[in-house]
Amino acid sequence: MSEADIERLAEMVRQARRVVVFTGAGISTESGIPDFRSPGGLWTKYKPIEFQDFMASEEMRREAWRRKFAMDDTMKQAAPNRGHRAVAQLATRGKITHVITQNIDGLHQASGVPDEKVIELHGNTTYARCLDCHERYELAPIKQAFEKDETLPACTKCDGIVKTATISFGQAMPELEMARAQEAAVSCDLLLAIGSSLVVYPAAGFPIMAKRGGAGLVILNREPTDLDAIADLVINAEIGDTLGTVVGNN
């Protein structure tokens, strides 16, 4: 990472009045949660279970819960890192209107960004919901029953299928979050896209929307992304180091 890039990013943040931070799995790798597309990422180990397949067979639903509980040990130990903390500081200073995240790990909230500023496009993996009536279920009892004899959870209200409150590939996007993210993207004057390969749509559409609406676009990623060509500034560097330096909390 070059000092000139850091200075330019710091200056863009100073000048901006309404910043939106858009994050992907990359901001959480320093917390020990693997991303999808990096070498050794989850993608290389598991092909994601698509929503249609989850719905179609009990065996797929069992496999989904098996993976979920295996992953949970990593998730539970994860704490916010320097990247999350730098974003939270910007929120505390009133710079940030919203954090739009593709992450399901809840680490932005854990780092101190107020709940109402976090827009979770792909849901949250720390609880479950009935797919029909949307009743919320906590994970501990589901896990206990599943670990005993792989019992699949069913809704006690309507007998519907219970799934973690995340959005799978092929599943409809949450309408309220999509509308809020759109509003945030078109009304910001700077969007920082951090740690996302920017290939998953519709999520990756928000940086494009912000740019079209006249906002500045900065992409921070250790590798090139699909949207580098339209960005005002691309920084290929580690997220924690870079944001820590920019925000001044090493």
- CA gap 146, 151 in Å, rounded: 5
224 Cα distance to chain centroid: 19
Q: Is 108 tagged catalytic?
A: no
The site partner of 207 among Zn ion, ligand NAD, none (C-beta below 5 to 8 Å per kind) is: none
Nearest residue relative to ligand NAD (C-beta): 26
Query: Which part of the chain contacts Zn ion (CB under 5 A), choosing from 61-69, 102-110, 148-156, 219-227?
Result: 148-156
Q: Which residues of 220-249 are buried (b: 16+ CB within 10 A; e: fewer)?
A: bbeeebebeeebeebbbbbbbebbbbbbee
What is the length of the chain? 250
Residues whose CB falls within 8 Å of the CB of residue 232, separated by 6 or more in sequence, listed in order: 12, 216, 217, 218
Please state the closest distance from residue 135 (CB atom) to Zn ion, in A. Answer: 5
Residue with smaller CB distance to ligand NAD, 1 or 186: 1
Close Cβ partners of 105 (under 8 Å, ≥ 6 residues apart): 28, 31, 33, 75, 78, 125
Taking the complex as a whole, the smallest distance from the CB of residue 42 to ligand NAD amounts, in Å, to 6
Q: Which of 158/230 has CB closer to Zn ion? A: 158
Least Å distance between CB 190 and ligand NAD?
Answer: 19
> Residue 162 interacts with Zn ion (CB under 5 A)?
no
Angle in degrees, CA 109, 188, 168, rounded to 5: 50
Confirm or reject binding of residue 154 to Zn ion (CB under 5 A). no
37: partner contacted, choices ligand NAD, Zn ion, none (Cβ within 5-8 A by kind) = ligand NAD
- Interface residues toward Zn ion, by CB under 5 A: 130, 132-133, 135, 155, 157-158, 160
Question: Which sequence positions are flagged as catalytic?
Answer: 122
